[in-house]
Amino acid sequence: MPEKGYKKNLILYLSLIGFFGIFTTTMAKNPVLPLFVKGMGGSPEVIGIISAISPLAGILFSFPVGMLSDRIGKRKILLISGGVFLTAPLLYLFVSDPWYLIPVRFFHGLATAILGPVASAAIAEAYDETKGEKLGIYSSATLIGRTLAPIAGGALISYFMHRGGLFPYKSVYVAAFLASVPAFLFCFAIKDTGGDYRGKKSTREEFRDSIRYFLGDGRLVSTALVDMATYFAFGVFETYLPVYLSDNGFGAGMIGFIFSLQILSVAITKPFFGRLADRIDKRIQIAVGLTVIGLSMLSLPFFTDEVPVVVVSLTFGLGMSLSTVATSAYTGDIADKTKLGASMGALSSVMDVGHSSGPLITGFVISGFSMRAGFAISFILCLVVALLFVVFTVLKKHRRLDENRLWHKIFGVHD
């Protein structure tokens, strides 16, 4: 296949992998996972523990697999991800005790921990001038999969509910396996990239060098912190907004509509904002997007009527769309091309830290103070990180050496 024709089709292949991959992992989680655990006699505490396992895989493995994709090639790593997508749903069929779901969920979490940073790195590497637009297209494909999966999973559970026992839930995992087949097969359509300097250093040395490289660049670290703050806020939004709305008289149908509308707005706007990121200064777009997220979180618990809640929720989604598509594109601009996978992996790992810690930290704040105070934590974090990002990417752009020395002192990184 000619290189030009392959690049034209690459975004299609990756988007299809992203759509089917995220569709199958989301179907395995929402809404079936808590119902499956409950059906096996699991308590709410057990449900919480099991639900927290999957993001842990992203925190631990996104950076190493990103680094390995630079070293041995992105196609090989994507095939591993596709293999996990394919085999993990079958493991649920053998579970009869909720505690056995812990290793299964961790294994399944590896699929998305691998896919996200490697696909982003492949796109940024292949599309230099239009990486923002292409990253937006890929992200929209994954969001569509994430939106449709709960509908499909819920319909299957309802259809087979008359069978009783665990059969309705296990039918969802059979469907998730079938949906993972195209995600696996499309991985074979990806050409191998990366690995140009394979064999020059040991894996341990390369891992250490990649960490040193990432932590030694204030621009990369502050960009990762933007994603951390964004997903900290998003974790709080998706966890506690339903509680807030329910306490203020919103029905389950209306709450679901608000979330579906927000996800749809993000999916529709990401390609547009990605195209915008290719045309304007990405740093401005990132800072504005994060500020919009923070202001939306601050204002949400001050409204109790449907229309303003919908408007603010949509504004939050637009801020998230504006920022996240630009952070990946900006990382693609500034990262060393031989360490692009590692940089995207670090971005993903730090993002998962925010996504996991947001609900946990905010839960303590809400319990100790109030719902408004809990949402205000996200605003403060977004504001602080936005200022930090501006300092290290805009104000210090002509003083790279001083910037690096500062980050070296903070993180104890030495050449």
pLDDT in the model for residue 399: 44
Q: How far is CA 161 from CA 148, 158, 164, 165, 214, in A?
A: 20, 5, 6, 8, 50
Report the chain's mean pLDDT, rounded to a whole number.
Answer: 85
Mean pLDDT of 90-95: 96
pLDDT in the model for residue 356: 81
Q: Tokens 């096996």 correspond to what residue?
A: 40
pLDDT in the model for residue 400: 43
Mean pLDDT of 117-141: 89
Neighbours of 3 (CB within 10 A): 9
Mean pLDDT of 101-117: 93
Q: How far is CA 191 from CA 2, 123, 216, 317, in A?
A: 12, 12, 31, 34
Rounded CA separation 42/22 (Å):
26
DSSP letter (8 states) at residue 392: I
Q: What single letter denotes the amino acid at residue 107?
A: F
Tokens of 402: 């001083």
- When mean pLDDT is compared across 2-6, 58-62, 207-211, 236-240, the lowest value belongs to 2-6
Contact (Cβ atoms closer than 8 angstroms) between residue 286 and residue 330: yes
Report the alpha-carbon angle 269-347-261, nearest 5: 25
Contact (Cβ atoms closer than 8 angstroms) between residue 285 and residue 333: no
pLDDT surpassing 90 at residue 78: yes
H or E element: which one contains 137?
helix 131-160
pLDDT surpassing 50 at residue 175: yes
CA dihedral in degrees (246, 321, 342, 1; nearest 10)? 120
pLDDT in the model for residue 396: 65
pLDDT surpassing 60 at residue 413: no
Rounded CA separation 303/43 (Å):
33
Tokens of 347: 């971005």
Contact (Cβ atoms closer than 8 angstroms) between residue 47 and residue 37: yes
pLDDT in the model for residue 201: 58
pLDDT in the model for residue 372: 93
Give residue 252's pLDDT band: very low, low, confident or very high (50, 70, 90). low
Closest CA to 142 of 347, 321, 333: 321
Contact (Cβ atoms closer than 8 angstroms) between residue 347 and residue 227: yes
Rounded CA separation 392/378 (Å):
21
pLDDT in the model for residue 174: 97
Give residue 380's pLDDT band: very low, low, confident or very high (50, 70, 90). very high
Q: Tokens 């719902």 correspond to what residue?
A: 371
Tokens of 356: 């996991």
> pLDDT of 20-61, one tens digit each?
999 999 899 888 888 888 889 988 678 777 877 877 888 888
Rounded CA separation 80/101 (Å):
21
pLDDT surpassing 60 at residue 397: no
Contact (Cβ atoms closer than 8 angstroms) between residue 57 and residue 109: yes
Mean pLDDT of 1-5: 55
Mean pLDDT of 289-306: 93
Q: Which parts of 369-414 fold into alpha helices (H)? A: 371-390, 400-411
Q: Helix crossing, 3-27 with 101-126: angle to 10°?
A: 160
Report the alpha-carbon angle 243-246-250, nearest 5: 140
Q: Which residue has the higher pLDDT, 97 or 339?
A: 97
pLDDT in the model for residue 407: 47
Mean pLDDT of 203-224: 83
Reduce the DSSP state of residue 52 to 3 states and report it.
Answer: coil
332-355 burial, b at 16+ Cβ within 10 Å, e below that, comes to bbebeebbbbbbbbbbbbbbbbbb
Rounded CA separation 389/223 (Å):
7
